[in-house]
Structure formats: C-alpha cells, structure tokens
Structure 1
Amino acid sequence: MAGTQQGTGEDAQRAPDLASMRVAYRAGHLDESTVAATWHEQLARWLTEATAAGTVEPNAMVLATSDTAGRASSRTVLCKGLDARGIVFYSNHTSAKAHDLRDTRYASATFPWVAMQRQVHVRGATERTSTEETAAYWAGRPRGSQLGAWASAQSSTVSSRQALDDALDLVTRRYADVELIPVPAHWGGTRIRPQSVEFWQGRDNRMHDRLRFRLNPATREWVLERLQP
C-alpha cells in the first residue's frame, strides 16, 4: 500500500499543472456583419481557411451520441460531405455509434480547430445517406480502406491483433481478382441534418464570439443569434 501511495505521489509531481495553463485567445473575431448568409457557407469558409492554414485533418470532427438511457459517448470521425442538407460521415452500421443513432436518431459533432482558436458545433437529427450517395463515395476510397471495411466488425471484441490481421488477409485474398470491390451491406453514410450550428471564435478575457444559426421549427427558417460566452 505504501508503495502504491508513493507511486501516485510521484505521478502527481510529474503531471503538468493543469490549473495554471492559460492561453490568450487573440487570433481573430467573428461578427454578424461578416458571417456568411447560411451555416453551410460559413462552415465551408472555415474549412477552407483551416485547410489553407495547414491544419492536420481539418475535416476531423468529434461525434457525440448517446444510448436510450442517456449514456453519452464520443469519438473522432471525418466529415466527408457538406451541403445545405447537412454534414456526412461514413462508418460501419454495426458499430457502437450506429447502434446509438439507430435508437435516438440524433447526434452532435464538433470541429476543433484549436490552433486557429475556433470550433464549430453542429447538432441535429440523423439519417442514412442514399445507396447512390454511399456508392459514389465508396468508389473514391482507397482499395485498402475498402478492404478494411469488409474485414472489420467495428466495435466488437477481437481476440488479438493477429486475428484482425488475418481477417484483412482473408478479405484481401477473396477480392484479389476483383477490380471493383462492392460496398458492404453493413457500411454506409450518415447525415446530420442540423437544427443548430454554432460558430465559436476565441477572444481575449474569455469573452468569446459565439454566433449560432438556429432552425426555427415553426417557420423552418434559419435565424442568426449571438450567445454569451
């Protein structure tokens, strides 16, 4: 017991002082007069700027879902589609997040552009992309990614890394003479149809700019509003 306590103390001494960490947010501002007319145009603008700035995986977003008991979970996925209908990501339909989405039909996603002191938060109902849309995206995926989608039963347990590698090897041999690998029935796209999209720009003294596009459920029109930081 004494040894355990000593180890914990040493770990605490080596840990960074999280409470004292401070960053001054002075990279920019966000104003109603310059924001784009629609949420998707503004998101496209910021995605373009994040890409130009050399952001690693600028289309990465933290996807949050919950089960019917309200137990939340999150993970990082890649946004692979953006238009007026919403944002799209692709994944295995047997995964843990797919089970959540099948039960609740709702999700949120956050684009965390930390270096630019920006983030975008999207919330809304979800739907699966059409067979045609999924097939069009699948056709442009690298062959290795296509094989991986066939080999992995995402989120299920596996006995070892070797078992996973063996599954990929089996699939690779199965499709060795197939030029166009078909889309697995268990794989496809999910679209988040936003009901609100918040654009956050860090500001000095934690007085951040927060502009939210919110869909009025009665009129089905978008309104722009500023939130307090």
Structure 2
Amino acid sequence: MAAALVRVGFKVWDVTMQDLLSGKVDLAQFRGIVFPGGFSYADVLGSAKGWAGSILFNKTVKEQFDRFYARSDTFSLGVCNGCQLMAMIGWVGELSADNTPNIVLKHNVSERFECRWSTIRIEKSPAIMLKDMHQSVFGVWSAHGEGQFTFKNSSVYDDLVKNHCVCLRFTDDEGNPTETYPMNPNGSIAGTAGICSKGGRHLAMMPHPERCDQSYLWPYMPPSWQHFQKSPWEKMFRNAYEWCCS
C-alpha cells in the first residue's frame, strides 16, 4: 500500500494505533489516511471490532478522528480490514447514539476465506479516488473471510444507492453485478464491493487495488491490454494525489 502511494507522489508515514494512543502522532498533520488490509487485533472479536474499539472508546483519539473527518481537505481509503473499520466507525454509513453502525461486514456466504482474482465494475459516484473511472470493468485481487456487506435495514442500502455511494460491484463474465459465487466471493447484495461517503472523500472497499496497481501483478490481462505499461488501478491513487494538489 505504501509503495502504491509513493509511486504517485505521496509522502507516506507508517502510523500505528499505539502512536495515536500514546500521543506520539496527531492526525492533524496529514491530508489522507489509508486503513490497509490485514487482521487487526487478530480479529478475535470479529471484523475490525478491536480496531474500531480502540478509536471509539478513547476520547482523545476519537476527537482526532472526528476532526480529521470533518476537515474539507482530507480523504481516506479503507481496504479489506480497513473497509470493515470504516463501516464500524461510521466513516461510510452512519453510527447510532450507542456507536452501533448501520453497515456491517459479515462472514462470506461460503463460510470460507476467499482469495481470488475477481472482476469488478466501477459505478458512477462522487468518490474522488474513482474520478473518470466509472463504467470500467476489470480485475482486482480480493482476499477476505468477512466481506459480505449487510445493512441495518433495506432503507440504508436504498439511501446509498440513491446517493450513488455504492461505487464498486463484483460482476459476472458479462460485466453485470452478481451475487453468484465465485464471481461474487462474499455474497453481498447486488455485488456490492465498495462504498463511499456522500461527499466522496472517504472510500471503503473490500478488494485490494494496491495488490494489482502494477501490470505485472495481474494474473490475467486481456491480450489487447498487454502493451500497456500501467495498471488501471494506479489511476485511483493518482486521483487522490491530484485532488490533494488541486
């Protein structure tokens, strides 16, 4: 993830939760936060619950995150475990008064950890990182055991669709959103694979664009694409950099 960001021009700091909890680092100095994949706190309580708890139930850290989210010059990206976290802390979707999220990532319908090359479609959305990429259909790595988007009620999903916040969907071989396994590795409704905030600055996605931001990392690419030296996923990171510079 750090390499993908450095390639497009970002200066990257590796910040741990302990750095924030100890006061060693303050989020005020950053323009972007990326929550990468990986099993935070071993996921012993479920997808990203331990990670989210260390934010929501520490007053100082929670205030830092709230201030960062409220700024108009910041963006965030959550991938896989980071996607689960962003739902848990309400950076996509919302939290109730008791910190209960209205979007939760649950176990894959297959009840297995799914690591595979999947196909996604980028939908029209306000997501700044997906600017000029809508209607694109191409491959991406996915690797997760709890990637099924579930919603507190149907109106939550309907509201996301209405506001064009469902920005990524797993597709079948024809490029159509699907719930069919294994094209959809987790069973999310209508192939939901990524959600952004209404303003577009915050993006949470289950697939791993950083694992295929260079063309040599693709296990398959259409023959007509093989002369390209760049992966289309690099544009996502470049969009974020250009947004920060604008």
TM class, shorter-chain normalised? Answer: under 0.3
Whose radius of gyration is greater, 1 or 2?
1
Structure with bigger RCO (C-alpha 8 Å, 6+ apart)? 1
Tell me which protein shows more strand as a share of its residues. 1
Query: TM-score, normalization: structure 2?
Result: 0.25
Query: TM-score, normalization: structure 1?
Result: 0.27
